[in-house]
């Protein structure tokens, strides 16, 4: 269990995926460039490639991301955030905002 103050430190924002490509020599990893209405898109590495045989279907989608994690290098690629998704044995889904919520909007 964590207390509310610890949870409040997590920054969750809407991001729009502007590019997506498979990372060579891996089965699970995609390199996403994500717009958060910042100066430049952020690179985020995510282990979702098995759910998106054609990563281009992700381009243009909005999803929710944790944006204040320390950068992490995964298979030689720096990741600057984490994609929110849910899965079960038979299903997978990105956590996508509904409506016209602008990129960069923080979850409350």
- What's the average pLDDT block by block, 10 residues per block, for the chain (108 residues)? 94 98 96 97 97 97 97 97 95 93 95
Q: How many domains does the chain have?
A: 1
- Whole-number Å distance between alpha carbons of 20 and 89: 24
CB 49 within 8 A of CB 55: yes
Please, are residues 13 and 105 in contact by the beta-carbon 8 Å criterion?
Answer: yes
Dihedrals phi, psi of 82, to nearest 5 degrees = -140, 130
Residue 66 covered by a domain: yes
CATH code: domain of residue 19? 2.40.50.140
pLDDT number for residue 75: 95
Task: Determine phi and psi for 80, rounding to 5 degrees.
Answer: -120, 50
- Output the pLDDT for position 99: 83
pLDDT on residue 74: 96
User: Encoding tokens for residue 60?
Assistant: 């243009």
- Output the pLDDT for position 20: 98
What residues form DSSP beta bridges with 32?
20, 44
Could you tell me if residue 74 is inside a domain?
yes
16 within a domain of the structure (yes/no): yes
* pLDDT for 55: 97
Rounded Cα distance, 10 and 49, in Å = 25
pTM: predicted TM-score of the whole model, two decimal places: 0.93
Predicted local confidence at residue 106, as pLDDT: 96
């Amino acid at each position: 269990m964590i207390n509310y103050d610890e949870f409040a430190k997590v920054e969750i924002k809407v991001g729009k995926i502007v590019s997506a490509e498979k990372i060579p020599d891996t089965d699970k990893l995609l390199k996403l460039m994500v717009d958060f209405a910042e100066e430049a898109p952020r690179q985020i590495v995510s282990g979702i490639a098995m759910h998106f045989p054609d990563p281009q279907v992700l381009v243009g989608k909005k999803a929710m991301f944790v944006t204040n994690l320390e950068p992490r290098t995964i298979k030689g690629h720096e990741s600057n955030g984490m994609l929110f998704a849910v899965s079960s044995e038979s299903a997978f889904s990105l956590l996508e905002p509904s409506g016209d919520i602008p990129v960069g909007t923080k979850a409350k």
